[in-house]
Amino acid sequence: MPMPSAAGSASTAFAGRPTLPISYVRDFLAGLPIDAPTLHGMLHLATISPTLLAQRHGRVTEEQFAELFRSVALHMDDEMPGLYARPLRCGTLKVLSILMLDAPTLQVAIKRWMQFNRVLDDGSVFTLHRDEREAVIRIDAYPRQARSARLVQELHMKLVHGLCSWIIGARIELERIDFGFARPDDAADYLFMFPGPARFGQPVTAMVFDPKYLDRPVRRRSGLELRDLLHRAPLDWLFDLAPVSRTPL
């Protein structure tokens, strides 16, 4: 497979599709224990030119980033590469998904995830709070030794949002998402991943949504649907590409 040119490869092949800034790719790769030849092979598989990494305004498609993420995860045997206190071994998300799919409602499924998270003891803690007006999923702790505090919080929130949306078969629209860190320079280029207004420099990282979503029944999924989600990961939970409904509450 020929490598794409460094300039404009993403925008040319996928005109009109959302793309990520190359700075996000650099941040994702920074600090990973991967040697240069192995990384070059991963970039080739994702059809990302190595010279693109050095460009200031380069961009990649969702599919390219997901392919690179997947290659890194398989190489490191870590489904959230280098972001938690210990590796999230390959197969962990499958076990988690099976556990959640057996729940009657989304709220029960999330509580099962929280219990599962305690068993993993990966240095991250998130909690669910609900009242009549809003539901809040909040990151209460994350590994302080994480190679990127920004990435671990953003990707953890996307994993929670994407998997919960898939579980109920409907995209969860956010009233807002708060980030407990300063606004990155390239934030405007990737915030499309979060379906709601974003605020930076907040006390904690949290997503806020209508509490009625928590009462939604868990959609019964076939083994084939689960296999497709895991095979395509992180594409569907990161970019909301899985077929879900947009019906109102």
Least confident of 152-161, 164-173, 189-198, 208-217: 189-198
Residue 57's contacts (CB-CB under 8 Å, 6 or more residues apart) are 21, 22
The pLDDT of residue 241 is 54
Q: What does pTM read for this prediction?
A: 0.87
Place of tokens 């224990």: 33
Residue 90's contacts (CB-CB under 8 Å, 6 or more residues apart) are 73, 74, 77, 78, 79
The pLDDT of residue 186 is 86
Least confident of 83-87, 126-130, 212-216: 83-87
Structure-block tokens of residue 15: 């005109």
DSSP reduced 3-state for 139: strand
CA atoms within 13 A on the CB side of 205: 24
234 upstream amide cis, omega within 30 of 0: yes
Q: What are phi and psi of 146, to 5 degrees?
A: -55, 145
Q: What pLDDT band is residue 80 in, cutting at 50, 70 and 90?
A: very high
Task: Kindly state the average pLDDT of the residues 67-74.
Answer: 97
Task: Kindly state the average pLDDT of the residues 63-77.
Answer: 97
Determine the Cα–Cα distance for residues 237 and 163; give it in Å rounded to an integer. Answer: 6
